[in-house]
Amino acid sequence: MRGRGTNEGERERMRAGPVVLGLVASAGGGVERALVERVAAPLAARGFRLAVTLTPTAARWFEHAGALPALQALTDLPVRWTSRLPSEPRPHPVPDAFLFAPATANSLAKLALGIADNQALTALGEALGRGVPLVVLPQAGEDQRAHPAFPLHLAALRAAGVHLAAEYDDAVAEIVSRAAD
């Protein structure tokens, strides 16, 4: 617990040092701009220390778009997408809360099933297991949403206490509120 009301929570946070927020993004359309402008920038401006992990496909998109420097500029921690070697130290501290935005149908399904075949899903799966606040913004097309397993994946995440956001502003507002509680 970081405090009860927003003001009390923010005062306590200033005393304890910045809250580390795990930020995970997968390869949904527009992620290269949305993650920087609608998620990471507003959260960094509120004083969160961002531990950013991309799926391998999202990282490829960021690299191709030349968008990694803008993202990296918003945090002192390395933006990562690969797993560490056993002999290497952990590049990120353990985050206090996680925001997964956007969550593709693919990565959302993997999270719901506990599949951790990349660093982004490993971080998210462990967060779900630890029970830290987790907000997810699903972003899937009509056909992906019509897949018979899609509603089951959403239901599994909801049942685990995950907040499913409707859009970026909602996702950011919700993680700010949950991380401050």
Ligand X SMILES: Cc1cc2nc3c(=O)[nH]c(=O)nc-3n(C[C@H](O)[C@H](O)[C@H](O)COP(=O)(O)O)c2cc1C
- Output 55 or 75, the one with its CB closest to ligand X: 55
Minimal distance, residue 102 CB to ligand X, in Å = 6
SS3 (DSSP) at 9: helix
Minimal distance, residue 76 CB to ligand X, in Å = 25
Minimal distance, residue 1 CB to ligand X, in Å = 33
- Output 103 or 135, the one with its CB closest to ligand X: 103
Q: Which structure tokens are listed for 86?
A: 């056993």
- Whether 29 and 103 have beta carbons less than 8 Å apart is answered as no
- Output 16 or 149, the one with its CB closest to ligand X: 149
Residue with tokens 């630890």: 130
Pairing between strand 97-103 and 49-54? unpaired
Minimal distance, residue 45 CB to ligand X, in Å = 26
Minimal distance, residue 11 CB to ligand X, in Å = 38
- Output 128 or 179, the one with its CB closest to ligand X: 128
- Output 48 or 61, the one with its CB closest to ligand X: 61
What are residue 92's phi and psi, to 5 degrees? -120, 145
- Would you state the torsion angle of the CA atoms of residues 166, 167, 170, 171, taken in this order, to the nearest 10 degrees? 90
Binding site for ligand X (CB under 6 A): 26-29, 55, 57-58, 104-107, 139-141, 144
DSSP string, 65-101: HT-HHHHHTT-SSPPB-SPPPTTSPPSSPPPSEEEEE
